[in-house]
Amino acid sequence: MVGFTTTIPLEILIAAGRPPADLNNLFITDPDPQGLIEEAEIAGFPRNICGWIKGLYGTVLRHGIGEVIAVTEGDCSNTQALMEVLCLQGVKTIPFAYPYDRSRETLALEIRKLSDHFGVSAAQVAEARAQLERVRAKVHEIDRLTWDENRVSGEDNHLFQVCTSDMKGDPAAFEREIDEFLRAAQTRAPFSESLRLAYIGVPPIITNLYPSLEEMGARVVFNETQRQFSMPYATADLVEQYRRYTYPYDVFSRLDDIEEQIALRRVDGVIHYVQSFCFRQIEDLIVRKRLKVPILTLEGDRPGPLDARSRIRIEGFLEMLKARKPC
């Protein structure tokens, strides 16, 4: 199993026949994610560091993962120190960087280095890409059924898209799961909630956010980052695919995508999720300046169900959206 700290060119691991594991997914689906964080804190990680970084550390140790691809640029720079601490524990770490300037040459070099490390050729990677594209297209259909036909819940939309980062470690099994879900979803009665929301920012550490929103009469019809993990754009080659992928680059390209999707999906309001102690919290001020729809900034720290304070904020926000919405 090869772990990674955020989405990387998955095609390389598939081509190499190495089971991929998005450490974030392993962490948040662990029966005791809090325990993984506590393990990192006992090891010496500061309290005022993002819960995901600590969770990833605990996950690597708990699962005995021997090799980790660490995304040191384009995601969280804390990953660099995480990588160093893992090295100390004897874990083999491979750095990968998304160049901030989106340089085609630099990204191509990074992808080539990663391919060389796993000993795969460009042709093998292209073959893996074709296989993954088929699975991704099916997840895109789940996304379309969410906003266009209203047959998919915010949580299912989130889960299927977020899992495209590692295809649950087994693309063929994941594809079968998707096929089964699509068969059932296509004939379901559509949802009829009164409010349509966009969820932007990193995936939530809150475990029951989507069902809680639906209980309150609002459904998420756009999961920004999760959709990006599913590689939503048609691109000519692998390098272009990971250049178009917005998440690791500047906030402005993300906002172009968000604005387009908000209009397309007829969104009433945006939840901007920010992780405590994450640099992306700063970007909230840019998001608020740029987007013209109402925004609720929701901060999460540790894994667990929605707390009373966040619930109060969400209820107030939804009430405001209802009052603003023309009847």
Give the footprint of other proteins on this chain (CB under 8 A): 276, 288, 294, 297, 299, 301, 308-309, 311-313, 315-320, 323-324
- The distance of closest approach from Cβ of residue 104 to other proteins in the complex, given in angstroms and rounded to an integer, is 39
Q: Are 192 and 54 in contact (CB under 8 A)?
A: no
Among residues 176 and 324, whose Cβ is nearest to other proteins? 324
Are the C-beta atoms of residues 27 and 36 closer than 8 Å to each other?
Answer: yes
Q: Which residues contact 41 (CB under 8 A, 6 or more apart)?
A: 47, 54
Tell me how far, at minimum, the Cβ of 100 lies from other proteins, in Å: 27
CB nearer to other proteins: give 66 or 294: 294
Q: Tell me whether residue 113 or residue 288 sits nearer to other proteins (CB atom).
A: 288
What does the block give as tokens for 109?
A: 């070099």
Residue 116 or 319: the one with the smaller Cβ distance to other proteins is 319
The rounded distance, in Å, linking the Cα atoms of 261 and 240 is 21
**Of 88 and 308, CB closest to other proteins:** 308
> How buried is 172 (Cβ within 10 angstroms: 0-12 exposed, 13-18 middle, 19+ buried)?
exposed
Q: How far is the CB of 312 from other proteins (least distance, A)?
A: 6
CB of 321 to other proteins, least distance (A): 10
Report in angstroms how near the CB of residue 164 gets to other proteins at its nearest: 30
Alpha carbon distances (Å) from 72 to 33, 79, 222, 310, 321:
23, 6, 27, 31, 39
By beta-carbon proximity to other proteins, the closer residue of 17 and 316 is 316
Min CB(204)–other proteins separation in Å: 15
β partners of residue 96 = 71
Residue 298 DSSP one-character state: E
User: How many CB atoms neighbour CB 155 within 10 A?
Assistant: 18
